[in-house]
Structure 1
Amino acid sequence: MTATICKQEIIISIYAYIFHSKNCLIFKLRLLCCTMKYTIIKESDSLHPLFYIVQDFRKGKLKIPEHQREQAWSDEKILLWIERITGQVGEGLLSGRPLGAIATYTIIGDANRTVWLNDGLQRLTASRLYVDNPEQFGHTSDKAEQYLKEYEIVVQHRYYLSHEVAMIEFQLMNNGTHLTPHDFYKGIIAYMPHYQSFWCSHFKWLHQAIEAQSQRIISKAGKVKYSTIHHRRRHDYLLYHRWLAKNTDVMRILSFNQGAIDFVAVKHGKVLEQLLVKNLQNLGQDKASQALDRFKRFIIKQTDLVKLTYEKLQPRQKKLPLTIYRWLLEVAVWQHQCHDLTEDDWQTFVHDFLKYRVDRQKTPSSENKPKNVSPRLGSLHKVYDVCQTI
């Protein structure tokens, strides 16, 4: 099968609103919302003996991108796959899922025409284990080679504009074990230079609000450089999501799941230090200690804010859109680091704004507006309204 798709610009921003009983559950179908040029020159499917694909995998001809998972299949699933390729289980099934294909891709403009593996890492890893150690499965090496030569699997090759496009496509087409949040953010971090342009576009209104606030603070105090604060805010935010994705489900924690909130509150000690040690190795002991302490305080404040919001809004049976919450959190964190708000006030600031918007959604009337709303809330209403249109 060959398909040709013309180059076009598309904005990917998909949400599904699923209403059940009294609760509004908002799921973010795409872990990434961005503006990009999405280009597929050609898409081809072809059958190949699994043995030769494994050989290329063994020789390193199939490169593993940063967003791919480590070996994640259980022993039971590996055994089931080997039984499948040796003809011992039913056709086309693996734990109730279709077998799918091996997906590869090449980056457009790559002079070396490097072939990257976008899907099928678990199957190839299990197949290589079988070829390298056939006796563990009761077969000889000749028999194992014969089985893999007789077993043909679909190889789907595509041409992408960049690795981040391949990562997004992987999320859509993957029919096996989906990316964990840690793997997803690992991919984002690896491709960060490619992401700079659309981060600026996606958070345009937020950056404008932050820049306006920073100019006011600089002109008032004259002590804080915006570039320093901006760098620290982005650095802490990235580290926060690295750690958060490593330990729990990002979707659940940002959807105010109480179990996930408690998990973050309890586990941010030892696990955090283990994760950050690699990031702090190049720093001196004093700087590393200061960075670690600063990040711990950042984690605690994030957790406190989530708890405060959850406890106050949970009785109302309301769920807040993920994007809106994260945008408000960005503003709150930045203001806290600029010392524009006190430690207690910055949490109350965001909570009051969220509470006001929830009340307004419930009863869109001027009578429902709180009497003592902070004047700073007004600067975020436009950001909130823009978020709702994304």
Structure 2
Amino acid sequence: MNAPTSAPLRAPRRALPQTITLAHGGGGTAMRDLIEVVFVSAFATTRDQDAAAPLEDQARFDLAALAASGDRLAFTTDSFVVDPLFFPGGDIGKLAVCGTINDIAVGGARPVALSCAMILEEGLPVEILRRVAVSMAETARAAGVPIVTGDTKVVARGACDKLFITTTGIGVVRTGIEIGIGRARPGDVVLVNGLLGDHGAAILDARGDLHLDHTIESDCAPLHDLVAVLITAAPGVRSLRDATRGGVSAVLNELAEASGVGVRIRELDLPVRPEVHGFCEILGLDPLYLANEGKLVAVVPADEAAAALAALRAHPLGREAVAIGEVVATRPGRVVMETRFGGERIVDMLVGDQLPRIC
């Protein structure tokens, strides 16, 4: 985590205080103690490296090993400012790891490694930071994608809201895989891997304003293994996107515009759990626009749709997978939904967001 020296992990010179201070971002012993005790001890468990190994200002990779896995490098970065930091089904740390892995995976790449940069507010309880770091480490370790480098900054009280995380990921795209938002063709089938809107609903529920009878859990999950299974079953897959901010609506509108096609979806086929459907009805929200953190939209050729669905449904993260519509030649750039009442409506992108700070 960009420690000021490359000396190995050691016991801190003093016990860590209960809260973050400006000294923890100053480059001295307080910063080093925080990095080694909170971050290095957790993140070293995600990679083939001992926690006592020297700390460097960068991670290093064997180019020959990367080249043996594919012919292109995928690279992404994302920032996470979710409120609250902890919610049913996840927390900001798990969200950061899963979100970055998914951004790599939907390009058809195998995630290789992650970085983690944190901006901490003065006064943040150290125990909260520990919980987030452990959650990140557990998620990365379970996904098999190590956290290999990072950075820590501390800002004065009030300059940020508790904790912000920026993660970057790299991955390798296997030779022959060509997946992109502009590759959809009329006749293709649109699939989703499960229930929509859970994350957006979980975040709003976790803020405690609604007092719902049933807790809604976020769908936060890494999707790289699911994507690998899908590509094996349907090697002609045209496009993949994880439906985060803006939900499925944003993905489909970007697809229609980039590919110069129309998209028709069926409201009756949209997989939404009853609790989320009721939640949306009460608040006047639309599940098509709610964020997801473990759902992808896949566009596959019609002759591969059955195999793709079967592969998705055989995976734990795709058991509720369904076809929700088709790519069409009419109304290029538009997404049209056949309503449950037999009519049609245009599904536009939102100007802003239905809910603030959901990731």
TM-score when scaled to structure 2?
A: 0.30
Which structure is richer in relative contact order (CA contacts within 8 A, separation 6 or more)?
2
Greater C-alpha radius of gyration? 1
Which structure has more helix as a fraction of its residues? 1
